[in-house]
Structure 1
Amino acid sequence: MRSLCSCLASIWLAVAPGAARACDLALALAVDVSGSVDHQEYRLQMDGLAQALRDPVISEALVRARARLMLVQWTGASRQRITIPWTAMESFDDVDALADRVAADPRIWRNYSTAIGEALSHTMAAFGQVADCDRHLIDLSGDGISNEGAPPAGLHPALRMAGITVNALAIEASEPDLTAYFFENVITGEGAFVVTAADFRDYPARIRRKLMREVTRASAGLRP
């Protein structure tokens, strides 16, 4: 399957006009590493995310869109870090290399609070580096409500002004109403949505579904 996708994408890239090959999507992957996430749950997130990036349909869509991706680890106020900077997805080798980096990304923090507003603010600031991309998207996953720092809903006007959409994955391991909270306080922008994972074991399947929805939409308008 990957071989067929690689062949088709290579043919498309060879014949596509220059305008169609511009960056169509800048996608920031923001991963919760707060104190409620243990070692095994962290691994489920990072391995699940890496596996999703390797999905043939997702990887082909990323290459077609010439997407740029970055990874952010976030927890309490003043504790957010870009651990993988913006990386261009111009080939399947690029996607595989990024998936390897995600799977190997060491955890930065372990025992801090949940500051979703601070995570959004820190991530938003990095989009100035990818201003030439058509769509700007933050993909935030978490297992709890914001309990420190700026309220996430307070960032919505600035995010909308910057043209950044925020989607979310709610991991309802200990917060059964987290999906509703994310709908009301976290997501913003045209077509923004929340995907629900029942627990961390459900995360790999749900992040794959979420990325599929995000990146295939991004590449749908590109000419084959």
Structure 2
Amino acid sequence: MSFWRVFLFGLFLTPPAAACDLALALAVDVSGSVDEGEYRTQMDGLAHALRDPVVSEALVRAEAQLMLVQWTGSDRQRVTIPWTQASSFDALDRFADRVAADPRIWRNYSTAIGEALEVTMAAFAQVPDCARHLIDVSGDGPSNEGIEPLAVHRDLRALGITVNAIAIEQSEPDLTAYFYENVIVGEGAFVETANGFADYPARIRKKLLREVTQQTAALD
């Protein structure tokens, strides 16, 4: 068999490389228990964490796809920043700018974590080539409206989507345990605890470091 026939034969048998190594959906709680200052703390803290040197390098190396979702009551979830690829540090910095400037859509509504997971899960159909699918959900209270988060777990597992959480224990001291039992799902899933909104920026940075450096290690 000639060189070109061998080359073309191998070309068609070799599966295409993944377009990215990580699709990360950032799902932010904007329910009625979150006031305007606390919302701003979340968005500024998240934007700052995305610019962390270690986090940003890992995201760019992974050519990660990033998306932002605001969520609250059972019929109020919206993708406010669609999938954006961290193809360069400039692209990631622009995404972080959009996060910091993202206007709040709702206030004074309930907490529907199940629907937040459903809506976010559906958006992963747009990034099928990413090797790893992850939802990073923040919240300051248990689900009190709509479907139970546990009811979504079967579909999340079937699609290979991992859910990690950051529990903001501003007024719910047992929230971390609730998130462990009801929200997170997938191999290696974990909960990071913030002792109030003031602690959120440091904890979201720690959480992203854990998530993205895990991906970097898999690439080495």
- TM-score, normalised to structure 1's length? 0.90
Of structures 1 and 2, the larger Rg is shown by: 2
**How far is the alpha carbon of 1:220 from its aligned partner?**
1.5
2:141 to 127, 139, 144: 144
Distance in 2 (alpha carbons) for counterparts of 1:82 and 1:37: 19
Displacement after TM superposition at 1:21 (Å): 7.3
Give the equivalent residue in structure 2 for 1:38. 35
Q: Identity of paired residues, percent?
A: 76
- The answer on 1:203 being equivalent to 2:187 is no
Q: Among residues 108, 118, 123, which one is paired with 1:121 in the alignment?
A: 118
- The answer to whether residue 182 in structure 2 is matched with residue 181 in structure 1 is no
CA distance in 1 between partners of 2:185 and 2:21 (Å):
19
Structure 2 counterparts to residues 162-173 of structure 1, below 5 A: 162-173=159-170
SS in 1 for 2:126: helix
Report the TM-score, using the length of structure 2 for normalisation.
0.92
Whether the 8 Å CA contact 2:137–2:165 is kept in 1: the answer is yes
> What are structure 1's unaligned runs of at least 5 residues?
1-18
Distance in 1 (alpha carbons) for counterparts of 2:134 and 2:92 = 18
Match of 2:64 in 1: 67
Give the letter aligned to residue 31 of structure 2.
Answer: S
How many angstroms apart in 2 are the aligned matches of 1:21 and 1:153?
30
User: Would you say 1:105 and 2:97 are equivalent positions?
Assistant: no
Aligned: 1:221 with 2:218: yes
Gaps of 5+ in 2: 1-15
The Cα shift of 1:222 comes to 2.0
Partner of 2:188: 191
Give the counterpart letter for 2:46 in structure 1. Answer: L
Q: Could you tell me how far 1:221 is from its partner in structure 2? A: 2.2
- Quick one: which amino acid aligns to residue 169 of structure 2? E
Whole-Å Cα distance in 2 between the matches of residues 48 and 57 of structure 1?
A: 16
4+ residue runs of structure 1 moved beyond 3 angstroms?
Answer: 19-22
Compute the RMSD of aligned alpha carbons: 1.0
2:219 match: secondary structure: coil
How many residue pairs align between the two structures? 205
Q: Which amino acid aligns with 1:215?
A: V
Q: Is the counterpart of residue 24 in structure 1 residue 8 in structure 2?
A: no
Once residues 22 and 97 of structure 1 are traced to their aligned partners in structure 2, the CA distance between those partners, rounded to angstroms, is 20
Mapped partners of 2:200, 2:144: distance in 1: 22
Shift of 1:22: 3.6
* 8 Å CA contact 2:140, 2:170 repeated in 1: yes
Quick check: 2:61–2:216 contact (8 Å CA) kept in 1?
Answer: yes
**Preserved CA contact (<8 Å) 1:71 1:83:** yes
For the 8 Å contact 1:33–1:107, the answer to whether it is kept is yes
Given that 2:168 and 2:196 are in contact with CA atoms closer than 8 Å, whether structure 1 keeps it comes out as yes
Q: Secondary structure at the match of 1:220?
A: helix
Is the 2:25–2:69 contact (alpha carbons within 8 Å) kept by the matching residues of 1?
yes
- 1:144-179 CA distance string (max 9 Å, x none): 000000000110000000100000000000100000
TM-superposed CA distance for 1:20, in Å, is 7.2
SS at match of 2:142: coil
